Amino acid sequence: MAPREAGEDAGVAGAASAGASAGASGTAGEAPAALAPRARLWPSLAAVYRAQLSRARVARIPLLFVATFQSLGIMVLMRGVVDGGAESRAVVAGSAVLVVAFVALNLLAQYFGQLRAGGGLDHYATLPVPAAAVVLGAAGAYASFTVPGVLVTAVAGGVLYQLPLSGLWVLVAVVPLAGAALAGLGAALGLLAPKPEIATLCGQLGMSAALLLGVLPGGRLPQPVGLLRDLLPSTYGVEALARAFEVRPDWGLAALDLAVCAAVGVASLALATWAYRRAAVR
């Protein structure tokens, strides 16, 4: 392990156990003190998030450029194909959420696959942090890189397809909820895959599904493909964002889409936490 990574992980351990170690030491001649209580989730989560964010900062610009450039390219290519209306809204919303899928699903699957294969997962398992803090911290750090790209893609798409931009405030909810759902799925794929190559393949297939099923209106797809689209975690974030591009958005349906996206996010992060515990003991 590189010295920088070791120092960051040591900071994770120190920050996570700072609130849990009070009262654990005793003076000479006294009875041994009781073991410190378990590290709390939120301080541990904040420590892991800061460490992961600092570690991935070097690759931030290339990640943002690649994720944003491919989404902008898709919108330009589709400009001569769609007629407007629901199709235009679906293309712009799907391209914006694709930035989240590229980072939170594809790259996170690769990260956890490599972490498991390289023995880094064993090191994390020895730190005094809950399993959920490791998964949520890494997922949050990777999803944070998508915010500028999603905003640029949504604004550029709205201008390109002449869509109203007044409802883009919904991105405040779409990005974290879709990011949580996709990051949980990406982490689970990386942790459950037996080899890092398979984790990479699964992440790329998931991103391809988000691309192919996210930029097309659900009503235009065959029924079997439409069912697959409904199972994709990012679908509901795409639907909510597409409604925001309407002249008179139906915010009730948008809120329902976001609620489903939140429920899927909780389920996918719970799956990723279980996969982390499973991989850590093997």
Residue 252 lies in a domain: yes
**Residue 267 scores a pLDDT above 90:** yes
Q: Render pLDDT for 55-99 as a digit per residue (tens, 0 to 9).
A: 766 655 677 788 899 999 999 998 888 877 888 999 999 999 999
Task: Dump pLDDT digits (tens) for 99-136.
Answer: 999 888 888 899 899 988 888 787 777 777 888 888 88
Residue 24: inside a domain: no
Q: How many domains does the chain have?
A: 1
Q: Is residue 6 part of a domain?
A: no
List the domain range (segments joined by +) for residue 140.
41-280
Mean pLDDT of 136-144: 84
Distance CA 125, CA 82 (A): 50
Q: Which tokens go with 67?
A: 């994720």
Mean local confidence (pLDDT), 6-35: 48
- Is 17 a member of any domain? no
| 161 falls within a domain | yes
Both tokens assigned to 113: 């696959």
Residue 8 lies in a domain: no
138 found inside a domain: yes
15 located within any domain: no
Query: What residue type is 122 in one-letter code?
Result: D
**pTM to 2 decimals?**
0.82
3-state DSSP of 136-167: HHHHHHHHHCHHHHHHHHHHHHHHHCCCCCCC
SS3 string of 236-282? Answer: HHHHHHHHHCCCCCCHHHHHHHHHHHHHHHHHHHHHHHHHHHHHHCC
Residues 6+ apart with CB under 8 A from 11: 47, 50, 51
